[in-house]
A and B are shown apart, each in its own frame.
Chain A
Amino acid sequence: MMKQLRGELPAQGRMLADAMIERVRERDDDWIEFTFSDVDSAAAPFERMRNQ
């Protein structure tokens, strides 16, 4: 999981698309869940285009 956050997903040019906290009531920590976008031109090279 950390490997993905530490390299693969940002390296693929993905950005954070969503974040949410999953509450765990009877324990002393909660989970934070990040969802990544598809490859985003803000962080990735432009892809080849085809005339539509």
Chain B
Amino acid sequence: MGIFSRRIVKRLLEENSRFLPNDKLNLHVNHLNGVSPMQRLTTEWEIAVLNGLHKLGVEPRFEPRFEGGTSVPDVLVSYRNIEALIDITTASDRGLDGENPFRLLSDELIRKVRERGLDPNKFGLRVEGNWRQLHLGGPKPRLFIPQPAGFDSAVFDGQFVQFLDQVAASGRKASFRPCSDPNAALWITHDPAQQFFTGSHLDYTVTFTGNRNPVYNRLDAKASQLKKAGFNGAKGIVLCDAGCSLLSKNGRPGLDLGPNEVISGFLDSEAQIDFILLLRVKSDSSGLFGPEHLKIVCEMFVPSVKRYYLDPLIDRLQGLAQQLPSPENTPINAYGTEDEGKSFSGGGTMTGQKIKMSARAVLGVLSGRTKQEDFVRENEPFVKAFERMVVEGRRLADAKIGHVPERDDDWIEFDFSEADPAVGPFKRMGTE
């Protein structure tokens, strides 16, 4: 899965093939087909932004080279004789997740519990962090958790095995605190009344320092590259959200920082960067997913002293979000490792004698790629509706595919007949 549906990405690639060179196009294709979810996400954004700039009418020149330059930025744009050199980048929590491998430890705990024949839903994991030391301008939040190479020695040691034995024997409420590693502060709990696995930890993505966070790091890296391009005009960065928590929350005044403070602070400290255009996926807060509930929003950051001479170009670039397609997922949900389009499985409608459901799900079960029990679980109301049609002695009267060109599934609609003697009892007859 990605931010955009695969059919949209394909359309963008085709449109981009009119103005991008083959090597760039195929680098994009290779990254999209690659195994790294992060690289796929970054490439999707780059494809979409290059496409949007082309439609925006800012005369983009891709990968321009300048005399004396030692780096090649993404694009040079021009509008009403104002030029700006732009690099596209993404920010994510990947580095922070690596420093604080809570998810990996949870996965490993669940695996070990399941291996012992116990129900992981009855277990919980709580990891402490350095919350007492945190303040604006202070250290980064950090969990007291070992790195994955140390999980076995620091957490899943002999005492952990004894803890599981005790739980298996008694089935009662119990907790375990590993003590092999003095830098680890975590608790594993068992509660037979619990319905789901629970995990809790300090939010290590909260930002307390302007220049030690994923957004600043990416901007700083891109600024260094832009400065080496040998271009003396305006320079800007398009920053896209690839699953960075900092970009989706506001700072609490006096307590921590939000994207506005970090980006404005970066521009204040970096005179050679003239503007930053932030692109994020915003949800309508309905709690529902899909393109109708998500949109891309754009925020421009430009110091007021520079706005005066860059104004027409800045105004134009602010329209970039309108040139981008609707997203299919939020970046955080786009991180799945599976490289498949999103199915409508479980969705659809049942009205009268019609059943409309995911064509992909139907194909999955007919092809044997989806286990029948998985199909039934995900599509239970439809399976029951089919059953009702069969019990009522109806047969399939019509079937059609409703193609959805900008998403990665289609609808299949089944229309059932009136009761048919081929599959039901004969009805009583009267003389006509």
Contacts and interface: CB of A to CB of B under 8 A. Distances in A.
Interface of A: 5-7, 9-10, 15-21, 23, 27-30, 32, 40-43, 45-52
A43 B412 contact: no
Interface stretch (B21-29, B237-245, B315-323): B21-29
B422 A28 contact: yes
Given A20-B399, A20-B400, A46 B33 contact: yes
B80 interface: no
Given A21-B396, A28-B423, A42-B6, A50 B17 contact: yes
B396 A30 contact: yes
A19 B401 contact: yes
Nearest to A10: B367
B13 interface: yes
B410 to A, nearest CB: 7
Given A42-B408, A43-B340, A46-B32, A15 B360 contact: yes
A16 B17 CA distance: 27
A5 B369 CA distance: 10
B148 interface: no
Contact of B401 (A16, A30, A49): A16
B409 interface: yes
Given A19-B401, A46-B33, 8 more contacts: A6-B367, A21-B399, A28-B422, A28-B423, A29-B422, A41-B341, A43-B408, A46-B6
8 contacts: A5-B366, A10-B369, A17-B401, A20-B398, A41-B341, A42-B5, A43-B340, A51-B20
Interface of A is mostly: loop
Interface residues of B, number: 46
Interface string B1-20: 00001110110011011101
Contacts of B339: 45
B362 interface: yes
B25 to A, nearest CB: 4
A42 B6 CA distance: 5
B422 A41 contact: no
B363 A10 contact: yes
B7 A40 contact: yes
B2 to A, nearest CB: 11
Interface in B378-432: 395-401, 403, 407-410, 412, 422-423
Nearest to B10: A41
Contacts of A40: 7
Contacts of A16: 359, 362-363, 401, 410, 412
Given A16-B359, A20-B399, A46-B9, A52 B18 contact: yes
A49 B13 contact: yes
A7 B399 contact: no
Chain B binding surface, main DSSP class: mixed
B424 to A, nearest CB: 11
Contacts of A20: 398-400
Contacts of A27: 422
A49 B29 contact: yes
A32 B396 contact: yes
A32 B369 CA distance: 20
A21 B25 CA distance: 42
A50 B29 CA distance: 11
B368 interface: yes
Nearest to A29: B422
A23 B396 CA distance: 9
A3 B72 CA distance: 51
B367 A7 contact: yes
A10 B259 CA distance: 44
Interface in B128-163: none
Among A6, A20, A27, A51: residue with most chain B CB under 10 A: A51
A5 B401 CA distance: 17
B341 A46 contact: no
Contact of B368 (A6, A29, A47, A52): A6
B70 to A, nearest CB: 26
Contacts of A9: 367
A42 B9 CA distance: 9
A3 B317 CA distance: 52
B395 A19 contact: no
A4 to B, nearest CB: 9
B396 A7 contact: no
